[in-house]
Structure 1
Amino acid sequence: MTQQTQALAGLRVIDFSDTRAGTQTSQLFADFGAEVILVERPGGSALRRDGAWPFWGRGKQSIELDLKAPDDLQVAQRLAGSADVVIESFRPGVADRLGIGYATLAAGNPGLVYASISGFGQSGPLAGLQGYEGIVMATFGAMSALSTLSPGDGPGFASAAYCAFATSQLAAQGILAALYERGKSGAGQRVETSLAEGLTVYDTFNWFSRVVASRFQDSFTQTPVSANGVPSGGLSFRLLIALTKDGRWLQFSQTVDRLFRAMMAMFGLTWMFDDPRWKTAPDFDDVDTRREFWEILLAKVREKTVAEWAAEFDRDPNVWGELFRKGSELLDHPQMMWNGMTHETADRDVGALRMPGPMIRADATPARIGVAPRLGEHAAALRRIAEALSDPAPGGTAPPAVRAKPPLDGVTVIELGTYYAAPYGATLLAELGARVIKLEQPDGDPHRNMLPFPEVSGMKVLQGKDCVAIDLHGDAGRAVAHAIIAKADIVLQSFRAGVAERLGLDAATLHAINPGLIYQSAPGYGESGPCGHRPAFAPTIGAAAGLAWRNGESVIPEGPDLSPAETKAAALRLAAAVMGVGNADGLSAASVATSMLLGLVARQRGAGGQVLFTSMLSSAAHALAETMVEYDGVAPPDRADAIVQGFHALYHLYKAADGRWLFLAAPRQREWERLCGALPGGTALRDDARFATMASRRDHDAALLDALAETFATQPAAAWEALLRAADVACVVCAPGPVEANYLDAGSVGQQLGLVTETDNPFLDRVPRLKALMRFSRSETVAGPAGLVGQDTDRVLADFGYDAAEIAQLGERHVVVQN
């Protein structure tokens, strides 16, 4: 790369955000060389109080500004007027009122890419509602969906920041896509996304399962647990959670039939396939049969220790059980260390520091990890820069929003992955206008048929793609793939270690064909190393990364003395903790999309083709940043209480008089004051010395929780929501699950927010689907349909130079499949 070793060097980013979603967006830019200026409120960002601050703040510059003071506002406006990117996460309208809105800044800086992150979007019925993670989760039914996680009688609470991390990646993708489009048009634009949209990345197939169930009532249902507390479907047994002899939990990963049969062989249970009672394993209609089968599997795992099972897994790499790790133990995972995706340094403020390295490994434009700034550390230098810059145009208006083609129009992505964790990353690029060509095996991506109803499980991840069925194991099929890849911009592959090389689809081979190719490798574990050959699925990585333990640590027992009943109850809770709402598939897919866009922008800026690498493990490490930073005296992250219904009394679930549940989010001092002013008896709470300060409220959290629970039990939930929202306190009635119903169904919040559109489907006609998860002030987005296996084979081959006779011959030789 000419005079540049980092992908984003030379870009100036101004980050006005004080939220996790915003700071993790700008962190990516700082890691990859952009000048990131963090504009902090007087007293500093609230994120500085978090133990993860050395991670979130790394590589940035800090200036402390009071945006309500004219002189400080002028500094902020001048710096932003010189920026390539501005990031803000205020509530809608606040940036405009402060004088740093898009119209003001873009009037004098038409190339500005301005990203707005909110809870529920910039307009609509919930635009003014504070975008706390818990408020979004409650609004869309995620807490109700986690009810099996809580030992109480109500909804459950997810400690992992599912919304914030996914939204940070959507924002980064929107910014990178807008920068790429600016590289062609010269014009900037505004990008918008929200936590409400970020939450949707985790739904792998429930949305379309609901669509099909509504069309064919009583013929297709999919529930994870029966009313008797027994897993309802075979997938739960393929993804078995079980306790070892020495009392540690394992998560198995046997989603396809050959992997499940390998596990049954390891357990010595292959005889079951010949027994009339058990031959349909792992699928059984009868609940008693399912219960007994479950108990047999649990007993088999209980026969051996973790070390003994590890020896068994070494014997057969098709069977894999990942240990449920805790806290920051992911940093010690042998594959994380092999991949070089941890970072250790001697920090000037905290001493020996260990944390996740860059989320993306880029061979031509590697990341460089900087240090977190002290508050206002760069103020003098930045003020001098501002003095030399001009003020924004008075009363300026944003450039006219003339609609343009999608930002990735003209980009071709070749997808070689299966399932969801990598392929959905390509789906996100398809929504930005890229042409995504999926080269799948002749019988189709296995993800298509994970559920009893054909195709429904794969519909979401196939949206907007050209589906080409091809035999990549033969020379003729490889030749076709190479001919297509020779004209592509990006190749995405997520094979296990060694597979790409065996197929002739490795980076070296493809770069010899197409030197400018962006080669995105996105395996579960890695391209080599101790676990690179292991099957990786969302629950496996969620266990390995500590995702399940983050959500369920207060209610998951372990140890060799657990009874069978305790084991079964805890296994169901672990299943909710690892896959109940969020999952490692969604985390990974969001990161994969970001990585491909980073490579695209770097190439446009002179980097040429290169190899990019992400893994499901590294993605999870960044998503769990609050638990992944180690240094002496690190402040522990907030942890859910003993009934998994909140972090503390002012960020918690409460039961109302009508039996419905509320979620309250009022952690800041000004929110506490508004809460006390609105609640009956709130004056007494405000005047109680135990609750006078944030610190004292934490010290007396149990007492405050009891007082608020008693208050909320006196009126119906809707009345409380109306009362408190009128006082500008974030409080919402918990929507019932499932989550997808609150986006999809008629009259749902998702419908009210305009997040849903319709598209065609080959066998369901018109079906509802989500719109693109970000919006642009100029560029269009795309909401394409999902195709069947081989549906687009003929058309794609013709587009890449094959004539009708050649295509027919390839079909006759079974090199390709046509539909």
Structure 2
Amino acid sequence: MTSNPAESVGAPRPLEGLVVVDASSTLPGAQVSQFLADCGAEVIMVEPPGGSTVRRLAGWPALLRGKKSITLDLRTDDGRDSLRGLLAGADVFVHTLRPGTAEGLGLTADRLAELYPRLVTAHITGWGSDSPWRDYKGWEGLVYAKTGAMWSKRQLTLRPGPAMVTAPYASWGASQAAIHGVLAALLEREESGLGQIVESDLVRGLGALEVYNWFYELVLHRYPGAFTPMDVAYDENGAPQAYLIYALLIAATEDGTWMQFAQTAPRLMQAWLAELGLAGELADEKWAGFPALPTAELREEWWTMMLERVKARTFDEWQETFERNKDVSAEIFRTPEDSLTHPQTVFEKRVHVLDQPGVGPVRQTSTLVHTNTGPVSELRPAPAVGADDEFLGALIQAAAARRATADPAGHAEPGRPLDGITVLEFGVMFAGPYGTTVLTDLGARVIHVETIDGDGIRSLVAFPEAGGAKVMQGKESLAVDITSPEGLAIVHRLVPTVDLVVQCFRGDAAERLGIGEATLKGINQDLVYLNAPGYGTTGPYAARPAYAPSIDAAAGLSATDGGGVHPPADLAETKLRAASLHAAGAVNCAQADGIAALAVGTGLLLGLYAKRRGIDLPGLTTTMLGSAQQSMMVVNTMYDGRPETMSVDEEFYGLHALYRLYPAADGWVFLAAPYEHEWAALVAALAPYADLGADERFASHELRRANDDALIEVLADVFARRGKIDWEKELTAQDVGCVEAVEENLEWAMQSDEFYNAGYSVTAVSPIFDEHRRLAPITRFSRSQTKADAGCTLGQHTTAILQSLGYDEAAIADLAERSVVGV
């Protein structure tokens, strides 16, 4: 049985009728087909005998829900023939084979186009098909190490060196990029009649999640000495050096509950200090310049006072405080599992319990996208391995019939898949707006509506436009005061010319501003309208501001990356854990803002594709909290007998001896060889340095786990003998997962010559930064094109947009003089 709300049964299924064949064996591939199945597609999962490796993941019942299961041995002719039979009538094929393996099986663009001209293939890899590292193992930890993410998050621990990153950020980025590509290619197929290969990878997917440090790093390196860099929040002794620590205070209550405060606006900070009884302290000259205090001693003293004031109350007392003082709020640091009890999650029915045969009740997140009726479709349990083997022949016959009745493949010039699509965007900062930025790379025109003073993200970095440069890429800026009648009239005149609208405001703010769904659809009934708030448009948290650190805490991302949220023993431990949790949830390279942004792109494309099929999705909604919880499905799915989720060790080296950071002679390497079948290759590769195969302590998987400390000691001695690049070259040549752990922040590493030459970043020309490097488009196509534009300045396109609406020069000048528009 299911706890799905009755009203969701019978809701529109936007992908009904699509047939998807999923032969993937990794998390991002499973996430792609899970989304497609959730939206109504028929997903036929092709598993090897014994089952997919996805079933080893704790979240498998949710990741595989709603699919069919066919077992095929693709190493045999019969298995490959059956796969070809299924693909003959499929709309989408998902796989995660390494590029060389895919090519060996004939899964190239040319061959697939010849055999299945209408098929859209999503190919998801660790490193991409045209990278010099294309044949490296695709473990997420390897990507985190090589891109610098482990260096960006080094303050997870106070020991020197990079730190293990645990949460599945890169898998989410790659899966969402693949979904964007699939939906865009299906839209393009409506015009051309042709399918194509869509590619995404963990590297670009991870790069999409960072917010604004890319251009911070660019400025620091382009103008050395012009700014004093501060890329870590705490100094080498663990004392705060970034003043945002006070606004984003992480503290524990008297009874040990960790809370993430977010008092970022001046008004909120003043209320926060008053609530703590510290506002009067600022009259003392000692604290002159607060929050930018000049010495480490003063910064730590103030920090200590705040921590002690929070600890003076219990969690229940703080809850009463939040009810009484609406200018003070905090999120609890929840585990991924506890996140599903969040009041807003419960209110929105974003947690369901399904009866999984052979397992029992399974608590899991609902669909990524919701509508007015709740989840976008009713959830169904995961299949047993080979549950549909008896229907293989019928499925192949159905595929042949579908192919026979399909429209003949057409011909098209290779344009961009979203050419001709216009998006009108109402949002600030990053979580919503970057979701449309990725669509500009696919050809969409995006009009970013911002205030006369500009989106606040533009001024987040102490260099003009550096904060907003990434989120403004490829967009047109319309600076207009929509709170004025004339400004609102301008927006309303734009609405008939656009296809998609996204609004990212809290609660019912869009309706109050006159840009709500009902109002705009009254002007243009063909609109696709997406709500993308932090928490929701209604509900107990709908009116609250949503900041990435708060959502990271609420969704369990911080607890996962930060090594847990146990009650601290004393003030010293409070300070140590606060620093770790800050690195887990507030470091820009990977957090909830980026996770939510990619979900916005997914929601818009789903709505557009459904609309093209005659399906309207009223109340279409993604939220920051819901998206973050969806990204954690692999660890927040709960049921009796669930496999234990491994945690990082106390010093943030890794999970165990075979998935871990090790010091090399000149830096660090990350080793990833956790599966039983990878042990033999590792033993052979390290044979010149250690006889692992002869050591009885390591003779089996179980013994290696039991003697993990001993294995770490042996491997640490081995890796210390050579340089990091030497190890990377030697071990990857023997198909062992091992890379250098780059000691540069991700945002700079990915625009370095090495990553630029590998294709992960590309050249763009900005009105502020001139020629520079930006992240390459995160989705690539075998036939369609993409583009990679730079950011825009405030109001850069206001005049042109107004002229297109019929405003003449005099009218525009008058509007500008009265501050209705900014030009």
Name 1:344's counterpart in structure 2. 353
Q: Does 1:725 align with 2:732?
A: yes
> 1:166-204, CA deviations, whole angstroms, 9 ceiling, x for partnerless residues?
111011011111111111222111111110101112211
Determine which of 367, 387, 410 is the counterpart of 2:377: 367
> 1:718-756, CA deviations, whole angstroms, 9 ceiling, x for partnerless residues?
3322321221111111111211121112x23x2121122
* Cα separation, 2, equivalents of 1:272 and 1:176: 56
Residues 96 and 102, structure 1, Cα contact 8 Å, conserved in 2: no
* Cα separation, 1, equivalents of 2:787 and 2:379: 35
Name 1:545's counterpart in structure 2. 555
Determine which of 463, 467, 472 is the counterpart of 1:457: 467
Determine which of 782, 785, 803 is the counterpart of 1:798: 803
Name 1:495's counterpart in structure 2. 505
Residues 239 and 255, structure 1, Cα contact 8 Å, conserved in 2: yes
Name 1:756's counterpart in structure 2. 761
Residues 89 and 401, structure 2, Cα contact 8 Å, conserved in 1: no
Residues 651 and 663, structure 1, Cα contact 8 Å, conserved in 2: yes
Name 2:4's counterpart in structure 1. none
> 1:646-697, CA deviations, whole angstroms, 9 ceiling, x for partnerless residues?
12211111122x1521111112233210111121368842244443333443
C-alpha deviation, 1:435, in angstroms? 0.8
Determine which of 623, 627, 633 is the counterpart of 2:631: 623
* Cα separation, 2, equivalents of 1:85 and 1:227: 51
* Cα separation, 2, equivalents of 1:310 and 1:391: 61
Structure 1 stretch displaced more, 629-638 or 103-112: 103-112
Q: Does 1:132 align with 2:142?
A: no
Q: Does 1:264 align with 2:254?
A: no
SS at match of 2:135: coil
Residues 269, 798 of structure 1: CA spacing in aligned structure 2 closer, same or farther, 3 A cutoff? farther
Residues 328 and 546, structure 1, Cα contact 8 Å, conserved in 2: yes
1:265-304 alignment to 2 at 5 Å? 265-271=274-280, 276-278=285-287, 280-304=289-313
Report % sequence identity.
40
C-alpha deviation, 1:267, in angstroms? 2.6
SS at match of 1:58: coil
* Cα separation, 2, equivalents of 1:624 and 1:608: 29
* Cα separation, 2, equivalents of 1:764 and 1:688: 57
Name 1:396's counterpart in structure 2. none
Q: In the comparison of the two structures, how many residue pairs are matched? A: 805
SS at match of 1:413: strand
Name 2:709's counterpart in structure 1. 702
> 1:370-394, CA deviations, whole angstroms, 9 ceiling, x for partnerless residues?
110111111221233325656999x
Structure 1 stretch displaced more, 86-95 or 780-789: 780-789
Residues 152 and 643, structure 1, Cα contact 8 Å, conserved in 2: yes
Residues 253 and 310, structure 2, Cα contact 8 Å, conserved in 1: yes
SS at match of 1:740: helix
> 1:479-522, CA deviations, whole angstroms, 9 ceiling, x for partnerless residues?
21122123221111111112112111221222222222111111
Q: Residue type matched to 1:405 in 2?
A: G
Name 1:95's counterpart in structure 2. 102
Determine which of 35, 47, 52 is the counterpart of 1:40: 47
Q: Does 1:599 align with 2:604?
A: no
C-alpha deviation, 1:767, in angstroms? 2.4
Determine which of 480, 489, 500 is the counterpart of 1:470: 480
Structure 1 stretch displaced more, 623-632 or 357-366: 357-366
Name 1:51's counterpart in structure 2. 58
Residues 355 and 381, structure 2, Cα contact 8 Å, conserved in 1: no
Q: Does 1:788 align with 2:788?
A: no
Residues 60 and 373, structure 1, Cα contact 8 Å, conserved in 2: yes
Residues 133, 275 of structure 1: CA spacing in aligned structure 2 closer, same or farther, 3 A cutoff? same
Name 2:456's counterpart in structure 1. 446
Name 2:333's counterpart in structure 1. 324
Name 1:522's counterpart in structure 2. 532
C-alpha deviation, 1:12, in angstroms? 0.8
C-alpha deviation, 1:151, in angstroms? 5.3
Name 2:386's counterpart in structure 1. 376
Structure 1 stretch displaced more, 344-353 or 178-187: 344-353
Residues 78 and 392, structure 1, Cα contact 8 Å, conserved in 2: no
Residues 384, 693 of structure 1: CA spacing in aligned structure 2 closer, same or farther, 3 A cutoff? farther
Name 1:231's counterpart in structure 2. 240
Residues 227, 403 of structure 1: CA spacing in aligned structure 2 closer, same or farther, 3 A cutoff? farther
Residues 389, 32 of structure 1: CA spacing in aligned structure 2 closer, same or farther, 3 A cutoff? closer
> 1:613-646, CA deviations, whole angstroms, 9 ceiling, x for partnerless residues?
1111111111111221111111122221232221
Determine which of 636, 646, 662 is the counterpart of 2:644: 636
Residues 696, 402 of structure 1: CA spacing in aligned structure 2 closer, same or farther, 3 A cutoff? farther
Compute the TM-score of the two structures, normalised by the length of structure 2: 0.94
Structure 1 stretch displaced more, 503-512 or 433-442: 503-512
* Cα separation, 1, equivalents of 2:650 and 2:303: 28
Residues 381, 139 of structure 1: CA spacing in aligned structure 2 closer, same or farther, 3 A cutoff? same
1:568-583 alignment to 2 at 5 Å? 568-580=575-587, 581-583=589-591
Residues 506 and 533, structure 2, Cα contact 8 Å, conserved in 1: yes
C-alpha deviation, 1:402, in angstroms? 7.1
Q: Residue type matched to 2:150 in 1?
A: M
Residues 48, 259 of structure 1: CA spacing in aligned structure 2 closer, same or farther, 3 A cutoff? same
Q: Does 1:413 align with 2:423?
A: yes
Determine which of 188, 199, 207 is the counterpart of 2:206: 199
Residues 162 and 743, structure 2, Cα contact 8 Å, conserved in 1: no
SS at match of 1:106: helix
Name 2:260's counterpart in structure 1. 251
Residues 133, 391 of structure 1: CA spacing in aligned structure 2 closer, same or farther, 3 A cutoff? farther
Residues 147 and 155, structure 1, Cα contact 8 Å, conserved in 2: yes
Name 1:567's counterpart in structure 2. 574
Name 1:768's counterpart in structure 2. 773
Residues 78 and 391, structure 1, Cα contact 8 Å, conserved in 2: no
The runs of 5 or more residues in structure 2 that have no matched partner are 1-9, 404-408
Name 2:406's counterpart in structure 1. none
Name 2:19's counterpart in structure 1. 12
SS at match of 1:116: strand
> 1:760-789, CA deviations, whole angstroms, 9 ceiling, x for partnerless residues?
323332222122111112222121221222
The runs of 5 or more residues in structure 1 that have no matched partner are 394-398
> 1:91-120, CA deviations, whole angstroms, 9 ceiling, x for partnerless residues?
112122124444333213211111111111
* Cα separation, 1, equivalents of 2:410 and 2:157: 51
Structure 1 stretch displaced more, 799-808 or 784-793: 799-808
SS at match of 1:242: strand
Residues 549, 795 of structure 1: CA spacing in aligned structure 2 closer, same or farther, 3 A cutoff? same
Name 1:586's counterpart in structure 2. 594
Structure 1 stretch displaced more, 8-17 or 621-630: 621-630
Name 2:183's counterpart in structure 1. 176
* Cα separation, 1, equivalents of 2:145 and 2:712: 19
Residues 68 and 98, structure 1, Cα contact 8 Å, conserved in 2: no
1:147-226 alignment to 2 at 5 Å? 147-150=154-157, 152-220=159-227, 221-224=229-232, 225-226=234-235
Residues 193 and 411, structure 2, Cα contact 8 Å, conserved in 1: no
Name 2:5's counterpart in structure 1. none
